[in-house]
Amino acid sequence: MSIPIPLSTIFLAGTVAIALQAVWRYQQKVTKNAGTPGMKLIISNTRQIMAIMPVFKIPFTRDWMFNIGLSWWGNHNYDIFEKYGQDIISAVSVDGAPLCYLLADAEAIQEVLVNRTRFPKPIETYKILELFGRNLVTTEGDDWKVHRKITAPSFSEKSNKMVCEETVTAMEGLFELWKGQKSVVCSDFTETTIKLALIVICGAGFGMRVPMLAQDVPPGHEMSFKSAVELVSDGIQIKVTLPDFAMKLTKYTARVSAGFAELRKYMVEMIQDRANSYQNYNDLFSSLLAANAHDSEGLKLTDDEVIGNIFIFLIAGHETTAHTLAFAAALLALYPDVQEKLYEFICTHVSNPSGAPTYNEVPQLTYVSAVFNETLRLYPPVTLMPKTSAEDTTLRTVTTKGTPVTVPIPKGSILHLISSALHTNPRYWAEPNEFKPERFLGNWPKHAFIPFSGGARSCIGRRFAEIEGVVALSMLIRNYRVTITDDPRFAGETFEERKARLFKMHIVITQTPESIPVTFTRRT
């Protein structure tokens, strides 16, 4: 006669078996890790679903952490590498995720970026960006080569000139709104830069020039093009997180969902309307249509892939530049001496009294570019770039004392290139946490600066962002002095406390400031 086993016993036995399996897997990873210093995690930092949550250090341990998020070391600059004593460190987890390595070594990062066969992009982690179709970011290998070949001609000298012109137009629209006000108080300047970047991308990206306050709704649509773009940009995190049925549960999520549908509808109409007239337009979308129709090798993207790529251009070109301009304004407010030097430089090198540079003047604005680059160094839009190891290999680095180290990288490992740590690594940057635009004049360590990634997969829209940033900064500082908005609650704060308050941020798709409270005072 069989004796029944209590459910509690079965549950306990199952729990013990799972725990033993986890311990075995952990020991296997420790063995493969070969003593590389780093963190010990309960939940792997590669678990994408947890990416926006915090991390907690387990009390009374040196290295153990209950980690459910990526953002922790993405915001901690070089500190964590300094703690563990070298520029490549590990993250070993108890769960079944692969070994992970974090890199802040410029030479090792360049080796990873250049050797795409040894260190391919983990495409599965980017599938969430296929909201409209496959694109340059979500493809690899031969598929990526087709996307790159078709999209590259869009970023031409002609389109760069259009970016310059559209940025001037957007800034003039902003100044018109501020007209008659001696001082303009912004509770969060990011809200303004988001609108500015939106207008630029609408014009240069789609050939649709929209005023700052325009909301015209054409026949057959539920919302304006501008509103659709705003909803898509603001709601992308919600869209990639929630299933379709959940998007209908609240008024806001339903409107975000409608924004995605409306943007697709607008882009489909553009493809149809411009099928035989794209040569009459200079925007990125029309250039992409032209390249897709007349590729010399007969390569062709589907309509969904065309829309998928222009969506990526929209997200990359909108958020990143907007946030960088907001960070730049805060830095210039904190460092008035730098701001005045920038103002004098602009007065000398831009012929138009409005501060609006011509396209031919943009390359001469070296100090404006230096301010923009220094902002990107301190606050890169993307702080973490994942790669995988396709084979058992090694990477070389050094300890913080300069001793050479060879780090074994087992096949299947995840590598995270931490731009925020690389950009503040004292091996490459003197006084790395200080705002010193002059470091970008003359010789500077280009291999240790990756705000637009690097290698063959570097950001195709880099020049677009740089031109937009330089033109917008030139016009803003030529016309206005920027200061931190006075707030009685923070009357006694030190410089470092103020800096910490201003640069609180979170990571959604890109590094996003929580609030940039600045005041613009008209220059006489």
- pLDDT, tens digit, 9 for 90 and up, residues 70-126: 444 445 689 889 989 999 999 887 777 788 899 999 999 999 999 989 999 888 777
Tell me the pLDDT band of 22, cut-offs 50, 70 and 90: low
User: Do 521 and 481 contact (CB within 8 A), yes or no?
Assistant: yes
Whole-angstrom Cα distance, residue 307 to residue 288? 10
Q: What is the pLDDT of residue 268?
A: 87
Q: Domain ranges in the chain?
A: 7-129, 141-380+423-522
Contact partners, residue 390, CB within 8 Å, separation at least 6: 117, 118, 119, 120, 411
Q: Mind spelling out the 3-state secondary structure of 347-384?
A: HHHCCCCCCCCCCCCHHHCHHHHHHHHHHHHHCCCCCE
Q: How would DSSP label each residue in 390-419?
A: SSSEEEEEEBTT--EEEEEE-TT-EEEEEH
Tell me the pLDDT band of 209, cut-offs 50, 70 and 90: confident
C-alpha separations of 87 from 90, 264, 414, 427 in Å: 10, 44, 16, 10
Q: Highest mean pLDDT: which of 4-8, 148-152, 176-180, 339-343? A: 339-343
End-to-end CA distance of the chain: 99
The mean pLDDT value for 434-454 works out to: 94
Q: What is the pTM of this model?
A: 0.87
Tell me the pLDDT band of 54, cut-offs 50, 70 and 90: very low
Higher pLDDT, 94 or 142: 142
Q: H-helix or E-strand containing 93?
A: strand 88-93
Whole-angstrom Cα distance, residue 53 to residue 68? 6
Whole-angstrom Cα distance, residue 364 to residue 382? 28
Q: Classify 101 as helix, strand or coil.
A: strand
Mean residue pLDDT across the chain:
84
Q: What is the pLDDT of residue 290?
A: 82
Contact partners, residue 49, CB within 8 Å, separation at least 6: none
Level-2 CATH architecture, domain 141-380+423-522: Orthogonal Bundle (1.10)
Q: What is the pLDDT of residue 157?
A: 86
C-alpha separations of 211 from 139, 195, 283, 397, 497 in Å: 35, 10, 17, 51, 38
Neighbours of 359 (CB within 10 A): 16
Tell me the pLDDT band of 437, cut-offs 50, 70 and 90: very high
Judge whether residue 492 has pLDDT over 90: no
C-alpha separations of 73 from 42, 244, 420, 491 in Å: 16, 32, 9, 31
Token code pair at residue 41: 């995690």
Report whether 202 belongs to an annotated binding site: no
Tell me the pLDDT band of 63, cut-offs 50, 70 and 90: low
Neighbours of 60 (CB within 10 A): 6
